Each structure stands twice: as C-alpha cells, then as structure tokens.
Amino acid sequence: MDWGKKNRISQIIKPETGRTVMLAVDHGYFLGPTSKLEVPEEAITPLLPYADALMLTRGVLRNCVSPETSVPIVLRVSGGSSIIGADLSNEGITTSMEDAVRLNVSAVALSIFVGSDYEQQTLMNLAILVDMAEEYGIPVLAVTAVGKELGKRDERFLSLSCRIAAEQGASFVKTYYCDDFEKVVGSCPVPVVIAGGPKLETELDSFKLAHSAIQKGARGVDFGRNIWQNPNPIGMIKAIRAIVHENASPEDAQRIYDKNK
C-alpha cells in the first residue's frame, strides 16, 4: 500500500490498538437539521478532543470546525437525495478529489445501497470514487445499509454489502451490528466499523452494542446519535473509548459514563 494511504489510515485507525472511535456528524446531508445537531459546532466542539476521526460533509467542515484541529477528517462525498425525496438511495458523488485534498482529509466516505433500485449506480459511484481517491492515496470508507435497507439488518445482507464494498476497493467499511456479526467481519477483507443507528433506549444498550461488535472483530465505531443526542455526550464518548481502546466491559463503561456526569 502506498505510504500516504497507509499514513492516512493510521491517523484514523490508531496503530496503538488497531481501533478507532470515529464521531459521525454527517447526518444533515440528507436529514437537514437533525435533533441536537441543529447548530453543528455546539455538538462537535466539546467532543472533538475525544474523537479519533470526524465524519462530516465539506459544508459543515468549512463552516463549523476550526481549521486548526488535528483530528483526522473523513469527508462524506456522496449525496444528492433528501429524506423527503423519492428515494434516498439515488445518490451521486458530490465532492471532487481536488476539494477533498484542499480540505486535507484523511479519508472520503460514500454510501452504497445494495438491494435498492439504485444498487448499480451507487456501486459504480464507489468504483469511480476509489479510482479518483487512489490517484491521491486517499482511503475510501464505504457506508453500507442505510435508508430503506435498514430493515434488512441481518448477517447475510450485511456480509453481502460489506464484501461487495471491499471487492470494489473500499479501504474500510461502515455497517450495522447484527446477530452473527463475526461472520460479517470474517468475510470482509478490510476493517469494519459500526454505526450506532437511531438513539437506543439506555446508555447501557449502546455500550453493549459497541462491546459486542468489538469483541466480534469490529475495528471501531463511527457513532453519531447515540453520542450527541445523549444528555451527557462527553460521558458517552469517554465510555465508548474505553470499550474500543481498553476492552472495557459494558458495566465498566457505564461507570465511566456515570462518573463523567
């Protein structure tokens, strides 16, 4: 692997543990002003010291994040649909590689919608993005199983999506947790990180989710709502960090959360 690409991946997936805690704040790209993310800098700034990487669009990056930050950026470069439009999966590539380079990003991220009407289009978006990104040694994060496909959160569907993403050249893949998650990881030749999905009922539920995923081979999390929609977001991210980087149990994580209230 090219030195630059390896170096960028090492900025995100920390070599000390081989894992990462990414903070996802890209939701507005199709949801608009999501609850608790209405003013992005208010959600992002206090959490930045605890994030191994920040996932967002160029608009929020340029307007809401200080260029002096040393946190690696994973730039969302797919979009083109909204939550009120006809079909969320009708996405294209929204950002040039030149702009990604200007923004000094460590990776670019794009969604694929396997099993949707736009499956082929979004898989071709991925293939084209990989070609564009390889020119500059920039890793590509493929985001699987969003939109209507969220219903199909089983091992067979997620394994299919993750494997296809890796086959198309993604450097790492983001997916959802499911039963038999070790099979998803085991059949995907690149690192897998998990999204949190909609906010879970209790903190402990989020900790159990992160813990099971890590124990079954996930290389980290890319959590959004379960962190910044929580009334104690700093406690949440600190607790999640302990699970990811120190193999803390869900109960240990709960203690860290309670201590940081």
- Sites of contact with ligand 5RP (CB under 6 A): 24, 26-27, 55, 111, 143, 146, 195-197, 222-226
Q: How far apart are the first and last CA of the chain?
A: 43
Residues belonging to the active site: 174
**Between 137 and 205, whose beta carbon lies closer to ligand 5RP?**
205
Q: Can you read off the two tokens belonging to residue 109?
A: 């991220």
Task: Tell me the closest approach of the beta carbon of residue 83 to ligand 5RP, in angstroms.
Answer: 11
* All residues at 6 or more sequence positions from 149 whose CB lies less than 8 Å from its CB, including other chains: 89, 113, 114, 115, 116, 157, 161
Q: Can you read off the two tokens belonging to residue 15?
A: 């070599």
Gyration radius of the chain over CA positions: 17
**Between 3 and 168, whose beta carbon lies closer to ligand 5RP?**
168
238/231 Cα distance (integer angstroms): 14
How many CB atoms sit inside 10 A of residue 190's CB?
Answer: 20
Task: Tell me the closest approach of the beta carbon of residue 73 to ligand 5RP, in angstroms.
Answer: 13
**Between 27 and 211, whose beta carbon lies closer to ligand 5RP?**
27
Task: Tell me the closest approach of the beta carbon of residue 95 to ligand 5RP, in angstroms.
Answer: 15
